[in-house]
Structure 1
Amino acid sequence: MLVAKDLEVRAGARLLVGGASFQIAAGDKVGLVGRNGAGKTTLTRILSGETQPAAGSVTRTGEVGYLPQDPRTGDPEVLARNRILSARGLDTAIARLDKAGMAMASDDDAERERAMAAYARAEAELAAGGGYAAEAEAARISANLGLPQRVLDQPLRTLSGGQRRRVELARILFSGASTMLLDEPTNHLDADSISWLRTYLAGHNGGLLIISHDVGLLDATVNKVFHLDANRSELDVYAMGWKRYLAQRETDEKRRRRERQNAERKADTLMAQADKMRAKATKATAAQNMAKRADKLRAGIEGERVQDKVARIRFPEPAACGKTPLTAEGLSKTYGSLEIFTGVDLAIDKGSQVVILGLNGAGKTTLLRILAGLEQSDTGGVRPGHGLRLGYYAQEHETLDTSRSVLENMKTAAPQLNETDVRKVLGSFLFSGDDVDKPAAVLSGGEKTRLALASLVVSSANVLLLDEPTNNLDPASREEVLNAIKTYAGAVVLVTHDEGAVHALDPDRVLLLPDGTEDLWSPEYAELVTLA
Structure 2
Amino acid sequence: MIVTNDLEVRVGARTLLTAPGQHLRVQPGDRVGLVGRNGAGKTTTMRILSGETKPYGGEVTTSGEIGYLPQDSREGNIEQTARDRVLSARGLDEIRRSMAKQQELMESDDDRKRDKAIAKYSRLEERYSSLGGYEADSEAAAICDNLGLEQRVLDQQLKTLSGGQRRRVELAQILFAATNGSGKSQTTLLLDEPTNHLDADSITWLREFLSKHEGGLVMISHDVELLDAVCNKVWYLDAVRAEADVYNMGFAKYKDARAGDEARRRRERANAEKKASALKKQAARFGAKANKAAASKQMVARADRLLDQLDEVRIEDKVASIKFPEPAACGKTPMFAKGLTKMYGSLEVFAGVDLAIDKGSRVVVLGYNGAGKTTLLKLLAGVERTDGEGGIVSGHGLKVGYFAQEHDTIDGDKSVWQNTLDACPDADEQDLRSLLGAFMFSGDKLEQPAGTLSGGEKTRLALATLVSSRANVLLLDEPTNNLDPQSREQVLDALKTYTGAVVLVTHDPGAVRALEPERVIIMPEGDEDLWSDEYMEIVELA
CA distance in 2, matches of 1:369, 1:180: 33
CA shift in 2, pair 1:438/1:270, >3 Å:
same
- Structure 1 equivalent of residue 324 of structure 2: 315
CA positional deviation for 1:301 = 3.5
**5+ unaligned residues in a row in structure 1: which ranges?**
none
TM-superposed deviation, 1:287: 2.4
Q: Which amino acid aligns with 2:438?
A: S
In the alignment, the residues of structure 2 paired with residue 280 and residue 387 of structure 1 have an alpha-carbon distance, to the nearest angstrom, of 76
Distance across 2 between alignment mates of 1:91 and 1:144:
21
1:95 equivalent in alignment to 2:97: yes
Residue number in structure 1 paired with 2:19 = 19
Offset of 1:107 from its aligned partner? Answer: 8.0
CA distance in 2, matches of 1:326, 1:102: 57
In the TM superposition, what are the counterparts of 1:220-231 in structure 2 within 5 Å?
Answer: 220-231=229-240
Contact 1:359 1:531 in 2 (8 A): no
Whichever residue aligns with residue 157 of structure 1, its letter is K
Aligned mates of 1:357, 1:118 — CA distance in 2: 51
Q: Which amino acid aligns with 1:482?
A: L
Is the alpha carbon distance of 1:101 and 1:507 closer, same or farther for their aligned partners in structure 2, counting shifts above 3 Å?
Answer: farther
List aligned pairs for 1:56-135, cutoff 5 A.
56-101=58-103, 116-135=118-137
| TM-superposition CA deviations, 1:236-255 (whole Å, max 9, x none) | 11000011111111111111
| Aligned pairs (5 A) from 1:352-363 | 352-363=361-372
**Size of the alignment, in residue pairs?**
532
Q: How much has 1:97 moved relative to structure 2?
A: 3.1
Secondary structure in structure 1 of the residue aligned to 2:482: coil
Q: Residue in 2 aligned with 1:46?
A: 48
Contact 1:34 1:227 in 2 (8 A): yes
Query: CA-to-partner distance for each residue in 1:72-91, whole Å, 9 max, x for gaps?
Result: 12211111111111111111
> Once the 2 structures are TM-superposed, how far is the Cα of residue 95 of structure 1 from its aligned partner?
2.0
2:355 paired residue among 346, 358, 365: 346
Give the Å deviation of 1:2: 0.6
The alignment's TM-score, normalised by the length of structure 2, stands at: 0.95
Paired residues of 2:143 and 2:172 also in contact (CA < 8 A): yes
Q: 1:303 and 1:244 mapped to 2: Cα distance?
A: 22
How far does residue 313 in structure 1 lie from its aligned partner after superposition? Answer: 0.9
Shift of 1:101: 4.6
What secondary structure is seen at the aligned counterpart in 1 of 2:384? coil
Residue 516 of structure 1: aligned partner = 526
SS in 2 for 1:410: helix
**Structure 2 matches for 1:93-492, cutoff 5 A?**
93-101=95-103, 116-176=118-178, 178-379=187-388, 380-492=390-502
The answer to whether the 8 A contact 1:36-1:446 is kept is: yes
Equivalents in 2 of 1:245, 1:414: separation in Å?
Answer: 43
* TM-aligned CA distance change 1:488 to 1:335, over 3 Å: same
Q: 2:181 maps to which residue?
A: none
Which amino acid is 2:487 matched to? Answer: S
C-alpha change, 1:495 and 1:278, in structure 2 (3 Å) is same
Could you report, residue by residue, the CA deviation over 1:368-427 in whole angstroms, capped at 9, with x for unpaired residues? 111111111112111111111111000000111111100001111111223221111110
Cα pair 1:88 1:129 within 8 Å, conserved: yes
Structure 1: how far apart are the matches of 2:191 and 2:263? 31
Gaps of 5+ in 2: 179-185
- Pick closer, same or farther for the CA change 1:113–1:520 going to 2, 3 Å: farther
Q: Percent identity?
A: 63
Paired with 1:104 and 1:517, the residues of 2 have a C-alpha distance of: 55
CA contact (8 A) 2:262 2:313 kept: no
Looking at structure 2, the residues matched to 99 and 384 of structure 1 have their Cα atoms a distance apart, in angstroms, of 54
Q: Distance in 1 between matches of 2:290 and 2:359?
A: 81
Structure 1: how far apart are the matches of 2:459 and 2:135? Answer: 40
Q: Provide the secondary structure at the position in 1 that maps to 2:237.
A: strand
Measure, in 1, the Cα distance between the counterparts of 2:144 and 2:119.
Answer: 32
Q: Which moved more, 1:199-208 or 1:152-161?
A: 152-161
Does the CA-based 8 Å contact 2:139-2:176 persist in structure 1?
Answer: yes
Q: Give the Cα separation in 1 of the matches to 2:46 and 2:387.
A: 41
- 507-516 or 111-120: which moved more? 111-120
1:103–1:520 distance in 2 versus 1, CA, 3 Å: farther
Bigger drift between 402-411 and 288-297 goes to: 288-297
Tell me, in whole angstroms, the C-alpha distance in 1 between the residues paired with 2:113 and 2:341: 47
Following superposition, the deviation at residue 230 of structure 1 comes to 1.0
Superposed CA deviations along residues 186-239 of structure 1, whole A, max 9, x for unmatched, are 000000000000000000001101100000000000000111111221111100
Write the distance in 1 (CA, Å) between the matches of 2:334 and 2:127.
59
Counterpart code for 1:63? E
Distance 2:108 2:340 in 1: 47
Instruction: Letter of the 1:145 partner, please give it.
Output: L
Over 3 Å counting, the alpha-carbon distance change for 1:520 and 1:101 in structure 2 is farther
> What is the CA–CA distance in structure 2 between the aligned matches of 1:208 and 1:318, rounded to whole Å?
45
Instruction: Return the alpha-carbon distance in structure 2 between the equivalents of residues 459 and 282 of structure 1.
Output: 67
**Partners of 1:244 and 1:286 in 2: CA distance:** 47
4+ long deviations beyond 6 Å? 105-112
**SS of alignment partner, residue 360 of structure 1:** coil
Decide whether the 8 Å contact of 2:358 with 2:501 is kept in 1: yes
